[in-house]
Amino acid sequence: MITSLWESPVHTAQLASDVLARVAADSGLLPSLLPTGHPGRDLTWTSRTEQWKGGFHAGLRHGTGAWCALIVLDARTSHAETLSGAVVLHDPRAGAANVGLPGLPWGRPLTLTTRPGLLAVVPGWLGWQVAPVRADDERTVLTADSA
């Protein structure tokens, strides 16, 4: 049995369109979308809606609280390019890319395709960035941080 001493839980889910519409109208519903027992369910969250238009990209970002959430509200695209506007999660610690411990996801980036309904909740210390958005694409994303 292998015991991980450095677990970094990342919760991802695909929200149904009716749930997505309710969250877009009331971001206060975010904690209820987290799995039972998730520490973020009992925290206060602040959120904002961001538009990522063609040419947009973001370098390293971090949450400002214990947890960071992203919910893709809309993803307009005219092609099948999956990396346009993708969210890339990565360990910001120096040397993390050189760690190859079995079973640990950090040290290797994790890329999430931004499609409507994507929910990603990650520890606030985890780094993330937005891959460049193609010129004719646009993403509308609710970003939130816990207290």
Residue 89: predicted pLDDT: 87
- Asked if residue 54 lies in contact with residue 136, where contact means CB atoms within 8 angstroms, the answer is yes
pLDDT, block means (10 residues), the chain with 147 residues = 56 94 94 91 93 85 86 86 85 68 61 92 88 91 92
CA distance 3 to 100: 16
Taken in order 135, 79, 11, 128, the sign of the CA dihedral is negative
Stated pTM of the model: 0.84
Q: What is the pLDDT of residue 59?
A: 74
Q: What is the pLDDT of residue 96?
A: 67
Residue 105: per-residue pLDDT: 54
Residue with tokens 């904002």: 48
Integer Cα distance of 96 and 72 in angstroms: 28
**Domain residue spans in the chain?**
11-146
As given in the structure block, the two tokens for residue 49 are 């809606």
Domain topology for 11-146: Jelly Rolls (2.60.120)
How many whole angstroms separate alpha carbon 49 and alpha carbon 21? 14
Q: How far apart are CA 107 and CA 100, in angstroms?
A: 7
